[in-house]
Structure 1
Amino acid sequence: MGSLEEKIERDPFDNLNEDDDQTPFASSPSASKVRPFNFETTVVDLRSSSAFNIRRISRSIYFVLIKAKINILLPFGPFAILLHYLTGHQGWVFFFTLLGITPLAERLGYTTEQLAFYTGPTVGGLLNATFGNATEMIISIYALKSNMMRVVKQSLLGSILSNMLLVLGCAFFTGGIAHYKKVQVFDKAAAIVNSGLLLMAVMGILFPAVLYFTHSEVHEGKSVLSLSRFSSCIMLVAYASYLFFQLRSQQNVYTPVNEEGDDGENSDEEEELELTQWEAIAWLAILTAWMSILSGYLVDTIEGASKSLNMSMAFISVILLPIVGNAAEHASAIMFAVKDKLDITIGVAIGSSTQISMFVIPFCVVIGWCMGKEMDLNFQLFETATLFITVLVVAFMMQEGTSNYFKGLMLVLCYLIVAASFFVHDDPIKSGND
């Protein structure tokens, strides 16, 4: 990329100064006249500079929109919008919108990683924390605006369950199969810290639900909301402290994902700089804007899709939506597990669950507070119990600091049980509001 940066900074008029050592007025007959301004050369230089910019833009488009195999799903986004206005069949619009958002989630992760090369590990970690779950945040904000608080809660809960059971389970299973002759290990310290944060998130979600179902509120109908907002602020402070602890105080122990692989073995193939800083920023804005547009259509068609597909809103929100948001995490976790880099796998799968539970969920409560929406942490009894059991199962699976295909298979089977449970679960709250 050094040569690329040099070309970007090259002045197209540099060649006009190549003969500055020749004096305009000289005694020799060949140099007795003032050298005229070479208009043709200037035009050629400007054209070559424009051609270089076009090549650079084409190269950027190739890396972001063409190179990855998952980009084959990108046309489904415009097709879903076209289908919405031509047919109005909400089931098909919902399905194709899901397909269209899937590659956007993966490409957002790619551009964030590219930008992290320029910002350094600290800011890069914050960028990963913010944009790593951008899909869930954008869908949640649109659902909040539409007063669909249950969709917000269930989709975020589903992202946590999907990351901890399905993503981590598939990664453990494929890694165990690829390295069946040895026991894969990972750093127990980082896993324990993430497990502790997940248990803290369970505490923040459990108490409002218990307060609601035991009818022990001091101010009926208000105490749960007040407790949720207070707990959300505490959880955001805890997550900010965790980021500082991870990126500053314990850099050698809790290395960010984009710094792994510095052992020189596989770092070149995993960490390749392909975009300039401003290209990464521009693509980040473009992808986020396009995802916001598709998220609006997705949220608007959830209820219609539930009726046309004969599926419950709970199953769509907890199982189907998170599969889209976790597409990038799923692929990355499996890839690193196969390469025997389980520390990065844990950071991707469990770290993403930690971000959602300690950052995205409290953030949605605070945003709802600012929007005048009564978004709280009462996830209802069934969902809260599911989250509590899941965190306990994953914590026990990781306590030894080892992994094998059998543990991965157990986690995947647990996810199938959860999916079947939500398929037959009838949400007691029928409306979008709680």
Structure 2
Amino acid sequence: MGPVGKPDPELHEETLVSLPLDARKMHTFEHIGSLAAVAQSFTPRKTRSRLLMSIYIVLIKAKINVLLPFGPLAVILHYLTGKQGWVFFFSLIGITPLAERLGYATEQLACYTGPTVGGLLNATFGNATEMIISIYALKNGMIRVVQQSLLGSILSNMLLVLGCAFFAGGVVHYSKDQTFNKATALVNSGLLLMAVLGIMFPAVLHSTHSEVQYGKSEVSLSRFSSCVMLVAYAAYLYFQLKSQPSLYNPVDGEERQNEEDVDEEDVPEITLWEAVSWLAVLTIWISILSGYLVDAIQGASESWNMPVAFISVILLPIVGNAAEHASAIMFAMKDKLDITLGVAIGSSTQISMFLIPFCVVVGWSMGKQMDLNFRLFETATLFITVLVVTFMLQEGTANYFKGLMLILCYLIVAASFFVHIDPTSSDD
């Protein structure tokens, strides 16, 4: 038998012309009937049913959605009681499921766009919560809150998220060392060290009083360095997604790939336009709650007798990284550390090389003096953290002991910020 191909349109028209009038009418009616069947699929009843199903999948199905009522409760408390401590606490809890659902909607959208655009979407929306909180705080002139919350996100991803993932994976796979692609880890470590380079020089320039124009040179240097870092991050995305994607393949080659093909069938649960709509709705709701959250930081610090630095560096990032924390641990327990590193270290790279420079550029457009001068204490903390994690990753193996060390390092960092207070004067 010959191959069966697509029918020739011209031959099809000739055949229709040669048919009797009654047969041509019957063919036309069949075509109209098929269009009517398509139109029937968009009836109000089916549209309403699809909408209810989408709401169930996004807002009810996941267990973390039991925390969603805390968001409206925070807004109500803001206007009824004015107790900033409770407003901050309930806003913090209310944003947690929204951040997780935003990640879910991004994954659903990536199923339709393919791996390349999906990677860009994950890079954009993976840290959307931190971006929204930072832009709102920047608009209110709370530059130190922006700097400390972004720094805290990096520290949380590199120490707490990665440490818990290594520890959980090491406990499940107790009898062996888990392995991952060392080349990927080294590329990300190099980008993190470049970010430290860009953040360190404005702080050193300010602290050594070696500026050409006091208070202006560090801002100019920060804006120039931010533009360079954004170019480097764009080159990194091209390198990762287009130029050499084979560099980011799992270490076990075909076996790991076959396992992923079997276990991870990317079947979307919601349609393309539903995913886009939910991204818009969730982003707007996170923006609203972020406003109440940022406004209540100072009041919560006073009512809880807790430094603002601890709230910004430790508490805020835990909320923004809730979804990443859970997914990194889950993949580590499935012995898929390459994905775990992409979640934890990749997110730190996005924040340090994209989000921080982006906030500097946005502050520049707003007329705010946002810079890369994170002060000596925060800069030293970031530098030491990057060094510790780089040494942990250089062997390309992971176990529960390495995970425990990273968690303990994070506890030391958290305790340090609990006793740290920003200098009252502009000069350190």
Same fold (TM over 0.5): yes
Does 2:213 align with 1:231?
A: no
Provide Cα deviations, 1:85-114, integer angstroms capped at 9, x if missing partner.
111100000000000000111111111111
Q: Pick one of 177, 183, 194 that aligns with 2:171.
A: 177
What code does the residue aligned with 1:403 have?
A
1:271 counterpart letter in structure 2: D
**Cα displacement (A) at 1:23:** 10
Correspondence for 2:158: 164
Distance of 1:48 and 1:266 partners within structure 2: 33
Contact 2:145 2:312 in 1 (8 A): yes
Q: How does 1:1-400 map to 2 (within 5 A)?
A: 49-254=43-248, 262-264=257-259, 267-269=262-264, 271-400=266-395
Counterpart Cα distance in 2 of 1:388 and 1:133? 21
CA contact (8 A) 1:247 1:254 kept: no
Aligned-CA RMSD value: 2.4
Structure 1, unpaired ranges of 5+: 1-19, 25-34, 36-41
Q: Cα–Cα, structure 1 residues 264 and 407, in superposed 2: closer, same or farther, change >3 Å?
A: closer
Cα distance, 1:422 vs structure 2: 0.3
Task: Provide the C-alpha distance between the structure 1 equivalents of 2:246 and 2:376, rounded to a whole number of angstroms.
Answer: 40
**Please, which moves more after superposition, 104-113 or 47-56?**
47-56
Do the aligned residues in 2 keep the contact of 1:111 with 1:280 (CA within 8 Å)?
yes
Q: Is the 8 A contact 2:69 2:94 kept in 1?
A: yes
Indicate conservation of the 8 Å contact 1:154/1:314, yes or no. Answer: yes
Q: Is the 8 A contact 1:133 1:325 kept in 2?
A: yes
Q: Provide the rounded CA distance (Å) in 2 between the counterparts of 1:408 and 1:223.
A: 41
Tell me if the contact between 1:164 and 1:353 (Cα under 8 Å) persists in the aligned partners. yes
**How far does residue 121 in structure 1 lie from its aligned partner after superposition?**
1.5
In structure 1, what residue type is equivalent to 2:71? G
CA distance in 2, matches of 1:170, 1:48: 47
Measure, in 2, the Cα distance between the counterparts of 1:72 and 1:222.
48
CA distance in 2, matches of 1:409, 1:429: 36
Note closer, same or farther for the CA distance 1:83–1:420 as it changes in structure 2 (3 Å cut): same
Would the alpha carbon gap of residues 371 and 131 (structure 1) be closer, same or farther in structure 2, given more than 3 Å must change?
Answer: same
With the length of structure 1 as denominator, give the TM-score of the two structures: 0.87
Tell whether the 8 Å contact from 1:172 to 1:407 is kept in structure 2 after alignment.
yes
How many angstroms apart in 2 are the aligned matches of 1:319 and 1:192?
26
Residue aligning to 1:411: 406
Q: Tell me how far apart the structure 2 counterparts of residues 323 and 70 of structure 1 sit (CA, whole Å).
A: 15
Q: For 1:391 and 1:301, how far apart are their aligned partners in 2?
A: 31
Shift in Å at residue 183 of structure 1?
1.1
Contact 2:111-2:267 at 8 Å conserved across structures: no
Amino acid at match of 1:150: R
The answer to whether the 8 A contact 2:181-2:248 is kept is no
- What is the Cα deviation at residue 120 of structure 1? 1.4
Give the length in aligned residue pairs.
395
Give the Cα–Cα distance (whole angstroms) in 1 for the partners of residues 238 and 417 of structure 2.
37
**CA 115–47 in structure 1, closer or farther in 2 if over 3 Å, else same:** closer
Q: Percent identity?
A: 76
Decide whether aligned partners of structure 1 residues 116 and 213 sit closer, same or farther in structure 2, where only a CA change above 3 A counts: same
